[in-house]
Structures are given as C-alpha cells and as structure tokens.
Amino acid sequence: MTAQLIDGNALARRIRAEVSGRTQALKARGVQPALSIILVGDDPASQVYTRHKVNDSTETGLKATLETYPADLSESALLDRIRALNADPQVHGILVQLPLPKHMDASKVIETISPAKDVDGFHVASAGALVTGQPGFWPCTPYGCMKMLESIGIDLRGKHAVVIGRSNIVGKPMAQLLLQKNATVTICHSATRDLKAMTLQADVVVAAVGKRNVLTADMVKPGAVVIDVGMNRNDEGKLCGDVDFEGVRQVAGWVTPVPGGVGPMTRAMLLVNTLEAAERAAR
C-alpha cells in the first residue's frame, strides 16, 4: 500500500478562491475586510510568515496591513496599539505574530485582542467557545487539519483519533474539533508511556509536537489517515515534519506531506477567519 497524499497546496487554492468570491460580495456592500498584522522584532521565520500572510490576503481581496516594530518596543506600547485596533471599525482581524520578545507576556498580549477580532483563535474566549460549541474563531492550524480530513470524505463518527501533542495552539483545539465530529479522541504527550500502543489503534493520527520522526511506519495501523503538523529540519537542512514520511506512506491510507500539507492550510484558514469576522461585523 502507498498512501494517497492530501495536497494542502491544492486545497488551500480552492479555499482562497472561495474567500475571494465572498470578499467581493462583501465589498459590493461597501465593506472592505481588513486584517492588521503586528510583527515585533526581526525573527527571520516570522518575517517570512507575515509576508506570506500579507500576500495571501492581497490575492483574495482582503486588505492586510503589516506593522513592524523593533524588538525593544515596550509591552505597554504594544498593548496600547492593540487597543487602538480593537476600537477601529475598519479593522476586522488582528494578528500578533509569535514568538514575541522575551520581555513581553504573550498571554497578556493575546488576551488584549478583542475576541471579535481574534482571527488566530488564541484568546481564552475563543478557546471557551470551541469547548462549549459556541460561535467563535477556531485556531487556524487545527481548522485547516479538519478541512483536510473533510476533503477526503472520511466520516469521523466512531473513529479513534490520536493527537500527539497538547499545545493550546494545536493539540488541545484539534482534540476538541475531532470530538465535535463524534470521533473518540486520545491525546498523547511527553508523559505517555507507550505511544506506539496508542497510535496502532488509531484510524486518524495527528502529529503535532515539533520533533522529527515521532511517528514511524511501525506505529501506524494500515490504512490510517496521518496528518503531519510538524515543521522541522532534517540533517541536510530540508524542511520535514514530525512523521517519517517515506516509511509511513507505505502503511497509511492517506498522509499529508511537509512542505505542502498543513502549512498552506493554516494560512488559508486565517483568511477564512478574517472574512468571517468582517461578515459578522457587517451583520
């Protein structure tokens, strides 16, 4: 068996096309969906990520503004700027690129963003809405993973899903979204005693710990769906995920590649959340 690939690039293109159509409809009503991105410091990866987010937004007709600040910006100044954007009716989404400089409290910064403009889905109100099934914004990476599962037509009802990782950004919300689709969910982490015993039971595995080869072929049930959220570098410096891709693809039914899998979908779902914020504001 050779697994079929879930092409994140192709699916993201379709989603961006849908966003573009909805954006044009909103603009025809006199509403310009707008995203404000804040970058503090000169982290090279963050610079690349924010540039991609601006380009994606522009491509779909969203207005994206990137504000860059030096690494020595005070936390109080950043919070004041966020509050000003909260009060600006022309801004529908606010994203503060992480990581922040060490003198800033990331939790305090995120909690200062209005939940109505929290298009990253990181605010505690967004997390609470997800857990209780109320309207809110889903974190973009788990949201993108769910869209990938939806794209292959898998019925998650009664399926056993194993999530490797328990971060607030991916692992925990991923588990909640799978629960909403009536999957039986197991969350594994660094203290899990026998990870292989867990993953061999899984119909769906989501690997999201940021560690190379955390999931290998002998840990995967034949035919399972494997979603690789990891972003790492191999010994040659090439981008790779958390999954031993070449080995796992010989066992799994479906697998996401790295690059070209979850990454493009994360950016696509940011556009969806921003558009949704603008549509809610217009209503």
For 30-88, write each residue's pLDDT tens digit.
999 999 999 999 999 999 999 999 999 999 999 999 999 999 999 999 999 999 999 99
User: For residues 242 and 207, is the Cβ–Cβ distance under 8 A?
Assistant: yes
pLDDT of residue 244: 97
Nearest residue to 268 (alpha-carbon basis) of 76, 3, 9: 9
What's the mean pLDDT when you consider all of the chain?
97
Per-residue tokens: 169: 């950004």
Calpha distance 137→273 (Å, rounded) = 6
Query: Residue holding tokens 């004041």?
Result: 80
CA-to-CA dists, residue 279 to 7, 25, 106, 209, angstroms: 28, 10, 28, 34
Catalytic pick among 63, 117, 118, 120: 120
Pairing of strands 232-233, 225-228: unpaired
Tens of pLDDT, residues 14-26: 999 999 999 999 9
Using one digit for the tens of pLDDT, what is the confidence trace for 258-280? 999 999 999 999 999 999 999 99
Instruction: From the candidates 63, 97, 176, 228, give the one annotated as an active-site residue.
Output: 97
In this prediction, residue 283 carries a pLDDT of 87
What's the pTM? 0.96
Known catalytic residue: 221? Answer: no
154-171 pLDDT, tens digit each: 999 999 999 999 999 999
Both structure tokens of 46: 């963050």
Q: Is 97 a catalytic residue?
A: yes
| Residue 105 designated active-site | no
Half-sphere exposure of 36 (CA within 13 A, CB side): 20
Average pLDDT of span 137-149: 98
pLDDT at 35: 98
